[in-house]
Amino acid sequence: MTEVETILKTVDWARMAEPQKDGYDTDVTLRLAENSVTPLRPQPYRRRPADGEATFCDGAVAVRPASVRGLGTDALLPAHVDHPNIAAGGALLARWPDAYRQFTRLIDTVYPYTDPEQARMGDQALGSSSHSYEEDFGSVHATVDDALGFAQALIHEMAHQKLRALGVSIESAQRLITNSPSEEFESPIRKDRKRPMSAVVHAQYSFIHVTALDLHMLAEANGERERQFILMLLARNVPRMQSGFDELARHVKTDEAGRQFIDAFMRWSRDVLERGQAELDAHGYGAR
């Protein structure tokens, strides 16, 4: 029996969807990443030390110089590794302590970018462009022009990396999700075309993390201006996450481990969406 088979034999999948206070899901995710390979990730993960690079998140995560076109376009440019929104985004992520601890253990490197159009907006910028690569577990590429958006990007890409380590890639799945890659469904995020169920799960999983972070950030909002910006983000995410929830409820197929994982994820998602809608209603935002 391989090490991965041994790990999978004992996983409590009901504890793998939502970041756990005791770090159980983080431990399992790391063990899988450190002992497995995929067609896109031919080497097991080994955490990279900071090696004198800039850091944030209490020194746990390195900020390394970004490469040109690391986000797939000439329009987004490498940013300074000491951009003030990097530390600010880390502090916003820390408003959700369980996710913050998970982020600092699963992610070792962030590559910062700037969107010149967003940068020109100054403190009116809102949102972030981001990406992570299956072949480079532990890394996040994201624009830093808006601290709130950057914090969202960090948790968004961490969730993608976690799901990949558990055996679900964007276009197909080794385990958990059993829908055929040839079947296509409505994505809550990509509206230009239908996607395989594994991609729909990725979209829903990553943005439920974002929506949960919105709620944690809102609970500790620093002033009315920040509160209104967070509510705008929440008002965007709740309706599309409700749409994704409904699509998964109708169409997702799983193996036995996946049933436990998805059941737990859907319970958590329902709680996040109900709390999100309650906040929007309380502040006069009509998301439905």
Q: What is the pLDDT along the chain (288 residues), one digit of tens a residue?
A: 799 999 999 999 999 999 999 999 999 999 999 999 888 889 999 999 999 999 999 999 999 999 999 999 999 999 999 999 999 999 999 999 999 999 999 999 999 999 999 999 888 888 999 999 999 999 999 999 999 999 999 999 999 999 999 999 999 999 999 999 999 999 999 888 999 999 999 999 999 999 999 999 999 999 999 999 999 999 999 999 999 999 999 999 999 999 999 999 999 999 999 999 999 999 998 644
Domain final residue pick, 165, 193, 208: 165
The answer to whether residue 18 is domain-embedded is: no
Residue 155 and residue 34 in one domain: yes
Residue 134 and residue 269 in one domain: no
Residue 57 and residue 157 in one domain: yes
Supply the Cα-derived Rg of the chain in whole angstroms: 18
Identify the residue whose tokens are 């601290």: 147
- Per-residue confidence (pLDDT) for residue 236, from 0 to 100: 95
Calculate helix-pair angle for 197-219, 84-93, nearest 10 degrees.
Answer: 90
Q: Provide the CA 217 distance to its chain's centre, in angstroms.
A: 15
Instruction: Say how many domains are in the chain.
Output: 2
Domain final residue pick, 113, 134, 165: 165
- Per-residue confidence (pLDDT) for residue 288, from 0 to 100: 45
Both tokens of residue 153? 């990007």
Domain that holds residue 226: 170-288
Residue 180 and residue 100 in one domain: no
The answer to whether residue 254 is domain-embedded is: yes
Domain final residue pick, 165, 186, 215: 165
Residue 120 and residue 50 in one domain: yes
The answer to whether residue 79 is domain-embedded is: yes
- Per-residue confidence (pLDDT) for residue 286, from 0 to 100: 65
The answer to whether residue 217 is domain-embedded is: yes
> H/E/C letters for each residue in 59-74?
CCEEECCCCCCCCCCC
Residue 141 and residue 95 in one domain: yes
